[in-house]
Structure 1
Amino acid sequence: MKKRWLLWLVPVYLVGLVVFAPAQLLTWFVPAQAGVELSAVQGSLWQGQANVSYQTPRQQLQFQQVGWNLTPSALLTGKVVLALEIPAVNTVSGNADVELSFAGALRVNGQFGGNLQQTISEYNIPALLTTDGRWDLALDNYELADVANGRWCDALDADVTSRSTAVRIQREWIKLGDFVTQLSCSTNSEIIARMSPNNRLGLEFTTTLAGTQQQPQVRIQGQLRPTTQTPRQVADVLIFLGEPNANGAYPFNFTL
């Protein structure tokens, strides 16, 4: 009789270990090359939250109280499938579905956003004028064949929208409206960001994020061609960019 009970208790015990596995076990599935560190980990392997630190070549990005739900059945196929939620206590917030294979292949889609000026300040993004508004990233698809190879992307389909954008000139806020930037991945695994000139500033550019994640190279090329919708205060500031070309545009081309 005792042996029968033992036969039942063993599988129950094993199931209990899996169901109540501590959240710290999630660190086993994060490749060391990914540059991701977890702290203040709470909950279980399947559902929990943690503070996440991601190291880039220029700075360390911090995200607080990131929550996750892990799909158990995906582990049987050699993948970690997570539903992530980044709460509004962070500069960048949103949610994403993440799929990471044990071989290092990564796939992400999600929605992110934040305050424009706060993001510029937090991540030291170059900006000529104090800017306000909200930005939103619609990430339809991002793929990386191997997170350890240092490449930027193997597939990318996303849009970044700056909404209700405004700049401050001599203590006055000037409304500029919305700006849309399309993100894609080149055949050379470069991230390409393009903005068409259908905005109040006539601003268009192509930004190329090349090199590797360890040694990034950023090239920006474009022009600003004022239109009848360009606020006068902004048009007056453009004289500091130099003389316009024959088409009335102010071209720019630089590397970060």
Structure 2
Amino acid sequence: MMSWRWLLWLIPLYLVALVVMAPARLVFWFVGEGGGPWGGPGSAPLSSVSGTIWQGEASIHATLPTGGTLSLHNVTWQLSPWQLFTGEANVALKIPSSNYIYGEATIMASSSQAKLQANLKGAMQPAIQQLQIPVPITMAGDFELNIANYQVSDFQSGKFCDTLEGTFATSRTEMRLNHQWHQLGDYKTELTCNPQNGINANIDDNNLVGLRLNAQVNGRITAPQVSVNGSIKPTLQTPKPVTDVLVFLGKPDAQGRYNFKW
């Protein structure tokens, strides 16, 4: 009789051990990666998966709306098993510096809400080229994206955010004109969530070229609507070649600012 009791205890422990030690590659294959029973071609952007579902490593390849490709290698994750009992998944991600975008992020998700905290860094030019960001001029420098608090709860609407507190900073920023690089200094963009549940990006004009900018991303995630309004008022530190090309924006206003929008 005692042996049967031990067996009844061992069966659930054995099943738990199977889940804990389940190879991550098998799990992702089952849910779609690699052509599993519910997957199709390109159903999940993961490859080179190793480890377990609780701690592992994979490469990410995803096609973006811009036509570019997000390719990140040797991304590691840790999933907290204890928070699953509270109905929330907590995943910590690390992207090594061998990628053109690197850093750390924490994703917390439940049936009603998703939260994100992240600190990502990289070089502007490789990121612009890989992601095919529509920047009309050739730029270089380093960037840092810091997301202190991002939350979204209305998954069905496709809105971008409910809460957003973050910054996007560039340092040693340069612009290429007539085959020459010109230093433009450092810039800081404040990221917030607007009343339409879209993203606001604002730059104050306390910078080398007197750039003041407000950009908004509204609409739905599947069909974003982007608008940009800004102006430039050259300072004494603005490189002359940069000042010279401002005539293509039209005439300055009464405050000496060259306005633009798209």
* TM-score > 0.5, shorter chain as reference: yes
Instruction: Tell me the residue number matched to 1:164.
Output: 172
Work out whether 1:228 is the aligned partner of 2:229.
no
Within a 5 Å distance, the mapping from 1:27-42 to structure 2 comes to: 37-42=45-50
> What corresponds to 1:93 in structure 2?
102
What amino acid is aligned across from residue 3 of structure 1 in structure 2? W
Correspondence 1:233-244 to 2 at 5 A:
233-244=241-252
SS at match of 1:3: helix
Distance 1:212 1:36, change over 3 A: farther
Between the two structures, name the one with larger relative contact order (CA 8 Å, sep ≥ 6).
1
Match of 1:19 in 2: 20
Structure 1 pair 55–77 and aligned structure 2 pair: CA distance change class (3 A):
farther
Which sits farther off after the overlay, 191-200 or 7-16?
Answer: 7-16
Deviation (angstroms), 1:201: 0.4
Distance (whole Å) between structure 2 residues aligned to residue 96 and residue 58 of structure 1: 23
**CA deviation map 1:82-117 (0-9, x unaligned):** 00011223322110111011x152100010011111
Separation in 2, partners of 1:218, 1:181: 16
After TM superposition, the score normalised by the length of structure 1 is 0.89
Which amino acid counterpart does residue 124 of structure 2 have in structure 1?
L
Aligned to 2:211: 203
1:161-182 Cα shifts (integer Å, max 9, x gaps): 0101111222322111100000
Matching of residue 131 in structure 1 with residue 161 in structure 2 = no
What amino acid does structure 1 have at the position aligned with 2:93?
A: L
Report percent identity of matched pairs. Answer: 38
CA distance in structure 1 between the aligned counterparts of 2:92 and 2:115, rounded to whole angstroms: 12
- Whether 1:77 aligns to 2:86 is yes
Task: Tell me the CA shift for residue 2 of structure 1.
Answer: 4.0
SS class of match (1:76): helix
The structural deviation recorded for 1:153 is 0.5
SS in 2 for 1:118: helix
Q: Is the 1:209–1:217 contact (alpha carbons within 8 Å) kept by the matching residues of 2?
A: yes
Report SS of the residue matched to 2:86.
coil
Once the 2 structures are TM-superposed, how far is the Cα of residue 128 of structure 1 from its aligned partner? 3.4
Aligned pairs, how many?
250
Instruction: State the Cα distance separating 1:53 from its structure 2 match.
Output: 3.9
2:254 counterpart residue number? 246
For the residues of structure 2 that align with 1:55 and 1:77, how far apart are their CA atoms? 34
TM-score by length of 2: 0.87
**Letter aligned with residue 75 of structure 2:** V
